[in-house]
Amino acid sequence: MKIRMLLAFGAAMSLNAANAQDVDTDAGKTLYLDVCAKCHGPTGKGLASFPKVAGQDADYISSRLEQYRAKEKVGPNSPLMIPNAVNLSDEDIANLSAHIAEDLQ
């Protein structure tokens, strides 16, 4: 657990070294299950047009979430994803990315 927290912290540091923060994978899990699981699945395996998120690294996930939060079109189905990202804080993104990268395979 300690090692996982350190890894998560490392991921957050590399996201934004000037604004280092503690990462809370449990909070990320709660948010993921509340908001994200209905499309990406509880284990992140995805389904049909909903991409698999499990197995991606934290930097990849957080940069995607930042793009969707900024309402950038990334793929053909971005309009489905953008409304779920616009209200995420930097902390939410760090927590979600750490949870997905560490807990979902």
**Residues in touch with ligand HEC (CB under 6 A):** 35-36, 38-40, 49-51, 53, 61, 64-65, 74-78, 80-81, 84, 96
Smallest gap from residue 3 Cβ to ligand HEC (A): 23
Residue 70 identity (one-letter amino acid): A
> What is the maximal distance between C-alpha atoms in the chain?
39
99 within 8 A of 88, measured Cβ to Cβ: no
Neighbours of 94 (CB within 10 A): 31
Smallest gap from residue 26 Cβ to ligand HEC (A): 15
Smallest gap from residue 34 Cβ to ligand HEC (A): 8
